[in-house]
Amino acid sequence: MEWLIQVLNSVQYGLLLFLVASGLTLIFGIMGVINLAHGSFYMIGAYLAFSLTQWTGNLWVALPLGIILAAVLGLLLEWLLIGRLYRRDHLHQVLLTFGLILVFEELRSITVGDDVHSVVIPAILGGSLPLTENLSYPVYRLFISAVCLALAAAMYLTIQKTRLGMMIRAGASNPEMAQSLGVNIRWIHALVFAAGVALAAFAGMIAAPVSSVFPGMGNQVLIVCFVVVVIGGIGSLKGALVASLLIGFADTFGKVLVPELAGVAVYLLMAIVLLFRPAGLFGRV
């Protein structure tokens, strides 16, 4: 029984990781932009959930508001800054997005302060399911997993089955050709970037009630997200999903079975994968 619960823990952690990392891999794969500030968008999402829930008194109202704000922020950033870097070296992108991390952390400090905050779980999901006689599982954690699965399916369908998805894929593989065939690449890029920001912020928002909201939370998640992208293969959504779940399992069972190695389990996994598949599990070489 305990094993099954640990499997549940693994899947739940993995799915949430996927939600954050999917935006990163999309931006990386489709636009070729290394976005170090991705963790900041996760942090911004969490703080939005906190502020908007305080303001509106309800997480359900805060969520859509937050997504809209995050998407607008994404569009603005793409238009003002990121859009100027597509043709530049990766180093410039790293410098710019690293600068953004500092700016966002400082803005957070000025506007909300450096305290730890918590977000109340909506009453309807506040309960727990008893699993064993002394352990229960919070319903809200199951809700997070369900939302992540639904979003993963929606993303897959959008990219593989819709006209928009076709244009995005075309833009990723050959932007010049796609442009000359009448696809507005500028617009596609802005859209993808905004979607990536919104995904990360959304992950921050729904994670806020269980993770609490604290300074530096974005940097913690950023590193793991890059591991996900590397293991899964740059730009591959399927890869990101598989890699997130793998990391969920490696982290959870690493902590329980070999606590001495818990800190490196995830990176060991990455090293092993890279040894056999240098481009990641689903990467295009």
Coil, helix or strand at residue 102: helix
* 145 lines the binding site for other proteins (CB under 8 A): no
DSSP string, 3-17: HHHHHHHHHHHHHHH
CB of 87 to other proteins, least distance (A): 25
- Radius of gyration from C-alpha coordinates of the chain: 19
Residue 22 or 252: the one with the smaller Cβ distance to other proteins is: 252
* 135 lines the binding site for other proteins (CB under 8 A): yes
Q: Which of 123, 176, 182, 259 binds other proteins (CB under 8 A)?
A: 259
* 122 lines the binding site for other proteins (CB under 8 A): no
Give Cα separations from 207 to 24, 43, 246 (angstroms): 17, 10, 20
In the numeric block, the tokens 């999402």 are attached to 45
* 56 lines the binding site for other proteins (CB under 8 A): no
Can you tell me the distance from the alpha carbon of 230 to that of 277, in angstroms, rounded to the nearest whole number? Answer: 10
Give per-residue burial for 117-142: e unless 16+ CB within 10 Å, then b.
bebebeeeeeeeeeeeeeeebbebbe
- Tell me how many residues contact other proteins (CB under 8 A): 45
Near other proteins in 197-236, by CB under 8 A: 210-212, 214-217, 219-220, 223
Q: Which of 61, 68, 114, 164 binds other proteins (CB under 8 A)?
A: 114
Residues that bind other proteins (CB under 8 A): 2, 5-6, 9, 12-13, 98, 101-102, 105, 109, 114-118, 128, 130, 132, 134-138, 140-141, 210-212, 214-217, 219-220, 223, 251-253, 255-256, 259, 262-263, 267
